[in-house]
Amino acid sequence: MIRFDNDYTEGAHRSILQRLVETNEEQLPGYGTDHHTTAAKEYIRKLSENDVDVHFVSGGTQANLTIISSALRPHQGVIAPSTGHITVHETGAIEATGHKVLEIEAENGKINAGQVREYVENHWNDPTHEHMPQPKMVCISQPTESGTLYSKKEFEAIRTVCDEKNLYLMVDGARLGYGLASKENDVTLRDLSNMCDVYYIGGTKVGALFGEAIVIAHDGLKEDFRYIIKQKGGMLAKGRLLGIQFEVLFENNLYVEVSEHAIEMADLLNEAFRSNDIEMYFPSPTNQIFPILTKNQMDRLSSKYAFHIWEHLDEERKAVRFCTSWSTKTEDVAALIKDINHL
């Protein structure tokens, strides 16, 4: 069975594994205070071209709940798309910290500045607003859970509303590498550092064994952040394991290279489905693609390939998700394309 059902099922890039072996018995201080972690932070700061703080945590859930709970007061909530990761796939982790996720209906995984403005204005215009969670942050994903991208123009519009309404802007970057590598992308790490108050760079899905890099641009969110990481269970005693991985990913552009590979593989699959008149559920330009398949087509492909059923459209058709990743093999993609051509 060849797996195309997710982009984090494999371990880690061999360069990372090799460096972990090479440094395995180094006597280093704990909790991310070692020289590997310091070097990794400097690489990210240089790419951000901004005065940012960088912190490493073990996973995306830890990043999301630590960032949000540190930024918000007890009565405040975070605006997110109805399809957003913190809305759907965090098992209530954000709510467990005491902060409600305030849903806005998404279109192809995205929300827009007008929706954010309307939501916030409706809150403050309600005479009973103090009885409801106060919107204080916007959290969006780049790429979205639907594989779509926010353009720089869309980011700037949301940033403008956040400034007008005194909101923080956060970006969940679990798959950020695949967004940066997309041919349709016009947003850089520097742009994110200028437009966002805080975001994170995903490693777990983009070549690392595990780990995310939180990048904080807003000075008001920087103070005591390591205290909060520790309190929320995101600080590793062997913090060097995170630092070493991001050092390898960013010292020689490996993060970009592995992301570009995933996009190349996804583009090949996208073209194969389209050339066989198979419609796409979302117009995804990243590593996740969403063809609409009939029951017969799914049965034929599922005998050799693992993929994820995204949405049931009717009795005969379903939208499914195929994911490529940093480790997707060209021969596996070629085999799948051959079978797509014979559907």
Q: How far is 203 from 176, CA to CA, in rounded Å?
A: 9
Q: Give the confidence band of 209 by pLDDT, cuts at 50, 70, 90.
A: very high
- Fill in the amino acid letter for 181: A
- Residues 188-199, mean pLDDT to the nearest whole number: 98
For 60-105, what is each residue's pLDDT tens digit? Answer: 999 999 999 999 999 999 999 999 999 999 999 999 999 999 999 9
For 9-55, what is each residue's pLDDT tens digit? Answer: 899 999 999 999 999 999 999 999 999 999 999 999 999 998 999 99
**Residue 48 in tokens:** 């951000």
Q: Give the confidence band of 1 by pLDDT, cuts at 50, 70, 90.
A: confident
For 149-164, what is each residue's pLDDT tens digit? Answer: 999 999 999 999 999 9
- Which residues have CB under 8 Å from 238's CB, separation 6+? 30
Q: How far is 319 from 310, CA to CA, in rounded Å?
A: 5
Q: How far is 144 from 133, CA to CA, in rounded Å?
A: 25
Task: Note the residue count of the chain.
Answer: 343
- Fill in the amino acid letter for 245: Q
Give the largest Cα separation in the chain, rounded.
62
- Residues 249-257, mean pLDDT to the nearest whole number: 97
- Residues 270-293, mean pLDDT to the nearest whole number: 95
Q: Residues 258, 267: contact at Cβ < 8 Å? A: no
- CA distances, 13 to each of 104, 241, 246, 326 (Å): 37, 14, 11, 8
Q: Strand, coil or helix: what is 79? A: strand
* Mean residue pLDDT across the chain: 97
pLDDT of residue 8: 86
- CA distances, 90 to each of 27, 96, 103, 233 (Å): 36, 10, 14, 15
What is the DSSP-derived secondary structure letter of residue 101? E
Q: Provide the 10 A C-beta neighbour count for residue 17.
A: 14
What structural domains does the chain harbor? 2-7+258-340 (3.90.1150.10), 14-254 (3.40.640.10)
H/E segment holding residue 38:
helix 35-48
> What end-to-end distance do the CA atoms of the chain give, in Å?
18
pLDDT of residue 217: 98
Say whether pLDDT at 7 is over 90.
no
Closest CA to 212 of 251, 174, 252: 174
Q: Give the confidence band of 218 by pLDDT, cuts at 50, 70, 90.
A: very high
Q: Give the confidence band of 319 by pLDDT, cuts at 50, 70, 90.
A: very high
- Tell me the percentage of the chain whose pLDDT exceeds 70: 100
Mutual angle of helices 240-251 and 254-275, in 10-degree steps: 70
DSSP string, 236-278: -TTTHHHHHHHHHHHHSSHHHHHHHHHHHHHHHHHHHHHHTTP
Q: How far is 166 from 173, CA to CA, in rounded Å?
A: 22
pLDDT of residue 9: 84
Q: Give the confidence band of 221 by pLDDT, cuts at 50, 70, 90.
A: very high
- Residues 254-260, mean pLDDT to the nearest whole number: 98
